[in-house]
Chains A and B, each alone.
Chain A
Amino acid sequence: MRYATTIIIGAGQSGLSMSKHLTARSIDHVLLERGQVANSWRTERWDSLRLLTPNWQTRLPGYGYAGDDPDGFMTKSEVISFLQQYADVSAAPVLRETRVLRVRQEEHGYQVSTNLGIWRCQKLVIASGACNVASVPSLSAAFPPAVISLSLLQYKNPDQLPNGGVLIVGASASGIQLAREIQASGRPVVLSVGEHVRMPRTYRGRDIQWWMNAIGAMDVRYDSMEDIERARRLPSPQLIGTPERVTVDLNSLRQAGVRLVGRIVGVHDGAVQFSGSLANICALADLKMNRLLSAIDEWVKSNGLIDELAVPPYRPAATDIGPDTELSVNLMAAGIGSVIWATGYRPDYSWLDVPVVDRKGRIQHDGGVVAAPGMYVMGLPFMRRRKSSFIDGAGDDAADLAAHLNQNLTRAAA
């Protein structure tokens, strides 16, 4: 049985950032990685995916993008290289191909069983990501068996799909990206739209992430939010990273020929039923987007930036869903042979044999400090800050949690 003071599960941006901070504090640790560094990026994302944040914002403690395209968006393979290089440069003690099978509590810490033997540790950092399992609603089981069903973890590119129509369920970042490329592949897309967050890629000449960062939105702390659970449940914004910095929204998708329908609510006799609430869902998203743009305009004014910006305030056109949104689509009649569930992800804690997960499958934590002694979690949506699940958020969270971890070590020794 081997021992490390701290075990970090996962060698992605969160685990590597924590490793960097633990090294700086001379706290011995290992990272247990089920595959290779950046494993989710290597094996569980679609081919065309690029980061939603610009290159300049792709930064980790003591490390950042050094190329000549700070406003570009990294491809999947560039993200993998970036994280691998960071692991190499920071000499992170990563144990590859080491899959955690079970974690249980012991008197002074945790016992971590892996496919390569048992470890013990005093402190445990769960940095295995927020996107291990594709969330697929239970009504997917009611689809006719002839319809091919893919989750976000299974979809790679349009060539996987049969010719003919495709139903995409979900219109957050993943759903709109897939709708765009699948419609462009010649397969007519029906896009089922639930609650979503609308954002233009650029506003007044700057990237929306630049603005979010500038106005302080990304640094908003979890304990300053009135309803943090709601903030944590918010779907990812409708953004895509492309070299052309295009905005993809429901208007542009509809112009490209995508048929917009409401949230999926049932399947009956080969027909899929959709909610009649789409108009309001879009009104909510438009209003919320405009509040963000107003906050940006206010910030510009109060920081005296007006002269620097050539572009005066403007508002993207309101979402136009057309006059006759379909409430039901017969899959056979519409020639739809496949459905993609772009309905989000959730973390997998099936290996965690410590009672810290609630009835909804959420780990109980206070800003990443889990409700079990010496246990931490990282990289979850709005965990400590709005940016917690972003690459750029890993550093600040790791600094805070490493300080907390260290404080407790000191106390234990005293």
Chain B
Amino acid sequence: MRTIDNSAATAVNNGVNVEALLSAREALGNAPEAAQFKWRASCVWLNGTHSRSTIGNFFGLTAEQARDKTFTVEADHPQVFAAEDNAPTPVEIVLSGLASCLTAGVAAVAQRRGIQLHKVTALLEAEMDIQGILGMDDDVRNGFGAIRVHFDILADASEDEIKALVAQSQKRSAVFDIITNPTNVFVTVN
């Protein structure tokens, strides 16, 4: 059993309970089956390109985890796509997922490293050639050509320490991994 020096970490507060995360890692090391999670979303078509997803229970730590509320996320397409623009597009929600994942990571890593954050903003831009989704050119992929993320961070740390926060956050980000690496997708229909 190793002790972890939290003397620096306790001096800062980014609102992240690092001790809980570390003890979870320790516990899961001895029980890898508890680390097997399942995340879920359900989606219902409303009208046109407008839909509403509902997010509630998930599975993890060998049991169903019930939340005391459910969340909804709507998506639609803008008027230039002849849609009603009731909500952001799904690809923008993907960008927001990446932004939130990396931002949460920055906070967690900063807490772990004893770095007080004052401001973290991320600006994301993704390139897309819509000839792909319109079926005009098979050589053009449907998805993003590239994603650019720019972080603006104010923290009690050197420039390199802040860069290292952002790099480590990418290294441990689920959404970054989902986007940068292939994933098998199985779709069924009844």
Residue B69 is within 8 A (CB to CB) of chain A in the complex: no
User: Which residues on the B side are within 8 Å of A226 (C-beta)?
Assistant: 2, 4-5
Q: Render B155-190 as a binary contact track against A, CB cut-off 8 A, 1 for contact.
A: 000001001100110110000110111100000000
Q: Which of B176, B179, B180 has the most CB of A within 10 A?
A: B180
| Min distance, Cβ A254 to any Cβ of chain B, angstroms | 19
User: Which residues on the A side are within 8 Å of B179 (C-beta)?
Assistant: 276
Are B180 and A283 in contact, with the CB atoms below 8 A?
Answer: no
| Chain A interface SS verdict (over half) | mixed
- Tell me the complex Cα distance, A290–B2, Å: 28
User: Which residues on the B side are within 8 Å of A265 (C-beta)?
Assistant: 181-182
Known: A280-B170, A280-B171. A287 touches B181 (CB 8 A): no
Known: A276-B179, A277-B180. A284 touches B171 (CB 8 A): yes
Known: A226-B2, A290-B160, A291-B160. A276 touches B168 (CB 8 A): no
Q: Which of B4, B160, B171, B181 has the most CB of A within 10 A?
A: B181
Give the contacting residue for A284; candidates B2, B167, B181, B182; CB below 8 A.
B167
Residue of B nearest to A324 (CB): B146
- Tell me the complex Cα distance, A228–B2, Å: 10
Residue A273 is within 8 A (CB to CB) of chain B in the complex: yes
Are B180 and A276 in contact, with the CB atoms below 8 A?
Answer: yes
User: Which residues on the B side are within 8 Å of A277 (C-beta)?
Assistant: 170, 176-177, 180-181
Residue A275 is within 8 A (CB to CB) of chain B in the complex: yes
Residue A266 is within 8 A (CB to CB) of chain B in the complex: yes
Are B182 and A266 in contact, with the CB atoms below 8 A?
Answer: yes
- Tell me the complex Cα distance, A277–B168, Å: 12
Give the contacting residue for A280; candidates B2, B4, B167, B181; CB below 8 A.
B167
User: Which residues on the A side are within 8 Å of B167 (C-beta)?
Assistant: 280, 283-284, 287
Are B180 and A275 in contact, with the CB atoms below 8 A?
Answer: yes
- Tell me the complex Cα distance, A277–B177, Å: 8
**A180-228 at interface with B (beta carbon < 8 Å):** 223, 225-226, 228
- Tell me the complex Cα distance, A281–B177, Å: 12
User: Which residues on the A side are within 8 Å of B4 (C-beta)?
Assistant: 226
- Tell me the complex Cα distance, A384–B80, Å: 64
| Min distance, Cβ B140 to any Cβ of chain A, angstroms | 14
Q: Render A97-124 as a binary contact track against B, CB cut-off 8 A, 1 for contact.
A: 0000000000000000000000000000
User: Which residues on the A side are within 8 Å of B181 (C-beta)?
Assistant: 265, 275-277
Residue of A nearest to B141 (CB): A327
Are A283 and B163 in contact, with the CB atoms below 8 A?
Answer: yes
Are A273 and B182 in contact, with the CB atoms below 8 A?
Answer: yes
Q: Which of A268, A280, A284 has the most CB of B within 10 A?
A: A280
User: Which residues on the B side are within 8 Å of A225 (C-beta)?
Assistant: 2
User: Which residues on the B side are within 8 Å of A273 (C-beta)?
Assistant: 182
User: Which residues on the B side are within 8 Å of A268 (C-beta)?
Assistant: 182
- Tell me the complex Cα distance, A262–B180, Å: 10
| Min distance, Cβ A2 to any Cβ of chain B, angstroms | 41
User: Which residues on the A side are within 8 Å of B164 (C-beta)?
Assistant: 284, 287
- Tell me the complex Cα distance, A223–B181, Å: 35
- Tell me the complex Cα distance, A64–B5, Å: 39
| Min distance, Cβ B164 to any Cβ of chain A, angstroms | 5
- Tell me the complex Cα distance, A226–B25, Å: 14
- Tell me the complex Cα distance, A277–B98, Å: 13
- Tell me the complex Cα distance, A72–B169, Å: 40
- Tell me the complex Cα distance, A225–B182, Å: 34
Q: Render B1-38 as a binary contact track against A, CB cut-off 8 A, 1 for contact.
A: 01011000000000000000000000000000000000
| Min distance, Cβ A393 to any Cβ of chain B, angstroms | 22
Are A284 and B180 in contact, with the CB atoms below 8 A?
Answer: no
| Min distance, Cβ B165 to any Cβ of chain A, angstroms | 10
What are 27 A-B contacts with C-beta separation under 8 Å? A226-B2, A226-B5, A228-B2, A262-B180, A265-B181, A265-B182, A268-B182, A275-B181, A276-B180, A276-B181, A277-B170, A277-B176, A277-B177, A277-B181, A280-B170, A280-B171, A280-B176, A283-B163, A283-B167, A284-B167, A284-B168, A287-B160, A287-B163, A287-B164, A287-B167, A290-B160, A291-B160
* Apart from the given pairs A277-B181, A283-B163, A287-B167, 12 other A-B contacts in the complex at a CB distance below 8 Å: A223-B2, A226-B2, A226-B4, A265-B181, A265-B182, A275-B180, A276-B179, A276-B180, A277-B170, A277-B177, A287-B163, A287-B164
> What is A's interface to B at a CB cutoff of 8 Å?
223, 225-226, 228, 262, 265-266, 268, 273, 275-277, 280, 283-284, 287, 290-291
